[in-house]
Copies of this chain bind each other. A is one copy, B any other.
Amino acid sequence: MRPGSETLLPYFKPRGIAVIGASADPEKIGHGVLKNLLHPEFGFRGPIYPVNPKASEILGLPCYPSVLDVPDPLDLAVIVVPSAAAPAVMEDCGRRGVKATIILSGGFRETGPEGAERERQCVEIAARYGMRLMGPNCIGVMDMHTPVNTTFVAGITRPGKIDFVSQSGALCGGILDWAQARGINFSRFLSIGNKADVNEADLMRYLAEDEESRVLAVYVEDVKDGADFLEAARYAAARKPVLILKGGRSQSGQAATASHTGALAGAHAAFAAAAKQSGLIEFHSVESMFNAALALAHQPLLCGDRVAVLTNAGGPAVLAADALESVGLKLAAVSPETRAALRPVLAPDAALNGPVDMLGGADERQYRLALEALLEDSANDGILVILVPTVLNRPAAIVENLVAVLRERRPDKPVLLCLFGEAHVRQAYTVADLGGLPAYRFPEDAAEAFGVIHRRARRLKQDRLAPQPLAGIAPERAQQLLAEARRNGQRALDAAAGRALLEAYGIPMPQDRLATNAEEAAHFAVEIGFPVALKLASPDILHKTEVGGVLLNLTDEQAVRQGWQSIVSRARAARPAAEIRGVQVQPMVVGGQEVILGVKRDPIFGPLVMFGLGGIYVEALADVSFRLAPLSIQDAEEMIDEVRSAKLLAGLRGAPPADRRALLEAILRLSQLAVDCPEIEELDVNPLIVLPAGQGALAVDVRVVLRES
């Protein structure tokens, strides 16, 4: 177990539990908790101590006036008192030597400043006594293996192989109720509410080592400490698949989050990057997440992209093939050997090219033999079995046969089941559930789950190296430049400083010369060689193009003289107060692919690096990708490949391929710069020109905005 994680042990394996605020009134939460702890099948087997000064006995258990009166052993206190009384109760818990507390009650931070102050007091008391605090405003913990259930939720789950951690307690009740009916069972199931102390990062680290579970699903609305989240996510995702659903991805969603828990949700780009980089699998709906969890809990990963479809109905198989392709998989062929083996067994009109369609009359024997044959067939990497109820077949008997095949063979490829229907397949669902065969209502759902177990398999195959140190960087020079700008009261670096900053991190720019008059510009242009570009030099004007401050492709001295004049006069007209230092003369860089690199500091996750192609691709198509710095080389590779227009870098229509190596290096150097210089709020390299392979990349323009001090 990870150091630190042992402090969470009392939530899952307590030796004794006090319920402070226990109640004899069946309408009260303090009663529901006690009832769940006393559940006939999944009740807690250690001592349970109701605490209530006004009662002597509740549900047959002797009641204690205060937690201070509770005898040993006592590890965990579940607190259901009104929020105003919580700090005093926490103090008592500390004095009594309780190791872990759960405050179920609401009335804290989510209700305003007064509640926030109460919450702060509870955290402070817990810290003082070295106690952990879960919640407040949560439903508590359900551990089906210990078992222990400190929630007041009416439902229960059978012991399963999925852990679920939710920031929202309300979600838990609905999910538990739905999941039971779907055959989705849990190992540990809990909500963390306001996350005053114990948060999703703590639990990812802890549950990564829950040997009863094969998959961890997390619902989160806000992350407070980005670095800690990333560390925990990486740790957990290296040990088991971790599925994540983030509430508050949208503008509307963010508004809802703010009004819900008073927490400010970070922008989703940063969260999505964090999920990708740490190996979390992100979902956008509850149902998709648990459909995937079901497959991951019970079946091996899909190690290739070929999925065979075995069916008694053509239509659903057609939809399955469509859905498989839409998640990047394909319909597996059936090998000649398998066809030969199945031909005599199946109906004469059964189809064997494409999906194996046994037709409506298929019985349990045919399903069994066909599944056995497909498991042996090396032309597929996994099998989707579709079963539609008919007037003649017996779905539960068929599923019993499928489950028996899997039990005998323990295949190393995944099998998922689509049980199309409801009342007529209810019993079959139960058989599938007990047999560890994930069953889905619709072919599209099963196909989507196949997509996820395929992604997970691919991810595990990749070597992911830690970010490497870079040669030829001068961090102290960068610090000096930023400090200087700060001293001068600048929010943005001027052109010379921006260039120097990039050069300090080994990102080259084309040479340029500052011309303070038109004649000088013409002279520099001759020295540099035509064609040239002219750019306004002013520390006060960030967006040069907006004031007509950029002229490209000038081919003679006369054009350069006129260009100098017009840039300066346009700038003066547009911004009379701006300091204008002159015009920079640069060689035109020709024959490369324009890309944009950027950095934006996320308040939670730190510097977010952006990549996209050319100005128009970014502006018209928003075809960009994000990763959090520091980036590994794989992160940089992925962020290039994620951008659809990046195909242009390979050299379409006879254009030479761009220098991808140089682009990768520029991204990694920018990432390092962003990490080393927290002073930088935003940075654009626009454009970076990626020259043909072997010729490098040049930053043509750079804009650096500093943090507000």
Q: Which residues of A contact B (CB under 8 A)?
A: 27, 29, 32, 106-107, 110-111, 152-155, 166-171, 173-175, 177-178, 180-182, 219, 221, 245, 247-253, 255-261, 284-287, 309, 312-326, 330-331, 349, 351, 353-355, 357, 359-360, 388-392, 420-425, 441-445, 545, 615-616, 619-621, 623, 644-645, 647-648, 652-654
State A154–B320 Cα separation when bound (angstroms): 24
**Cβ of B170 and Cβ of A442 under 8 Å apart?**
no
- Within the complex, the shortest CB–CB distance from A646 to chain B, in Å, comes to 8
State A645–B325 Cα separation when bound (angstroms): 26
**Cβ of B259 and Cβ of A357 under 8 Å apart?**
yes
Residue from the set A255, A321, A388 with the largest chain B CB neighbour count within 10 Å: A321
Chain B residues within an 8 Å CB radius of A248:
318, 321-322
**Cβ of A388 and Cβ of B170 under 8 Å apart?**
yes
Chain B residues within an 8 Å CB radius of A318:
168, 221, 247-248, 253, 256-257, 260
Given contacts A178-B441, A252-B321, A621-B647, 19 further A-B contacts (CB under 8 A): A110-B349, A154-B389, A154-B424, A170-B388, A171-B420, A221-B315, A252-B354, A253-B319, A256-B355, A259-B351, A259-B357, A260-B351, A284-B323, A284-B444, A285-B442, A287-B445, A616-B652, A616-B653, A621-B644
State A182–B423 Cα separation when bound (angstroms): 11
State A208–B257 Cα separation when bound (angstroms): 44
- Within the complex, the shortest CB–CB distance from A29 to chain B, in Å, comes to 7
**Cβ of B354 and Cβ of A260 under 8 Å apart?**
yes
**Cβ of A106 and Cβ of B349 under 8 Å apart?**
yes
Chain B residues within an 8 Å CB radius of A357:
259-260
* 7 closest cross-chain pairs (CB), A and B: A168-B315, A170-B313, A174-B420, A177-B421, A250-B325, A247-B318, A252-B331
State A326–B390 Cα separation when bound (angstroms): 38
State A247–B319 Cα separation when bound (angstroms): 5
Chain B residues within an 8 Å CB radius of A353:
255, 259
Question: Within the complex, which residue of B153, B219, B645 is in contact with A315, where a contact is CB–CB below 8 Å?
Answer: B219
Residue from the set A251, A256, A321, A389 with the largest chain B CB neighbour count within 10 Å: A256
State A640–B414 Cα separation when bound (angstroms): 44
**Cβ of A173 and Cβ of B392 under 8 Å apart?**
no
**Cβ of B354 and Cβ of A256 under 8 Å apart?**
yes
Chain B residues within an 8 Å CB radius of A388:
170-171, 173-174
**Cβ of A422 and Cβ of B177 under 8 Å apart?**
yes
Asked, given contacts A255-B321, A349-B106, A620-B645, whether A421 binds B174 with beta carbons under 8 Å apart, the answer is yes
Residue of B nearest to A317 (CB): B256
State A449–B258 Cα separation when bound (angstroms): 26
- Within the complex, the shortest CB–CB distance from A607 to chain B, in Å, comes to 25
Residue of B nearest to A392 (CB): B27
State A169–B312 Cα separation when bound (angstroms): 11
Chain B residues within an 8 Å CB radius of A152:
391
Chain B residues within an 8 Å CB radius of A260:
314-315, 317-318, 351, 354-355, 357
Question: Within the complex, which residue of B155, B314, B619 is in contact with A261, where a contact is CB–CB below 8 Å?
Answer: B314
Chain B residues within an 8 Å CB radius of A423:
155, 177, 180-181
**Cβ of A178 and Cβ of B421 under 8 Å apart?**
yes
**Cβ of B168 and Cβ of A322 under 8 Å apart?**
no
Chain B residues within an 8 Å CB radius of A168:
313-316, 318
Chain B residues within an 8 Å CB radius of A177:
389, 420-425
**Cβ of A315 and Cβ of B247 under 8 Å apart?**
yes
Chain B residues within an 8 Å CB radius of A314:
168, 170, 256, 260-261
**Cβ of B621 and Cβ of A325 under 8 Å apart?**
no
State A221–B153 Cα separation when bound (angstroms): 46
- Within the complex, the shortest CB–CB distance from A11 to chain B, in Å, comes to 21
**Cβ of A29 and Cβ of B391 under 8 Å apart?**
yes
Chain B residues within an 8 Å CB radius of A261:
314
Chain B residues within an 8 Å CB radius of A153:
391
- Within the complex, the shortest CB–CB distance from A220 to chain B, in Å, comes to 10
Chain B residues within an 8 Å CB radius of A182:
422
Chain B residues within an 8 Å CB radius of A316:
168, 170-171, 174
**Cβ of A444 and Cβ of B391 under 8 Å apart?**
no
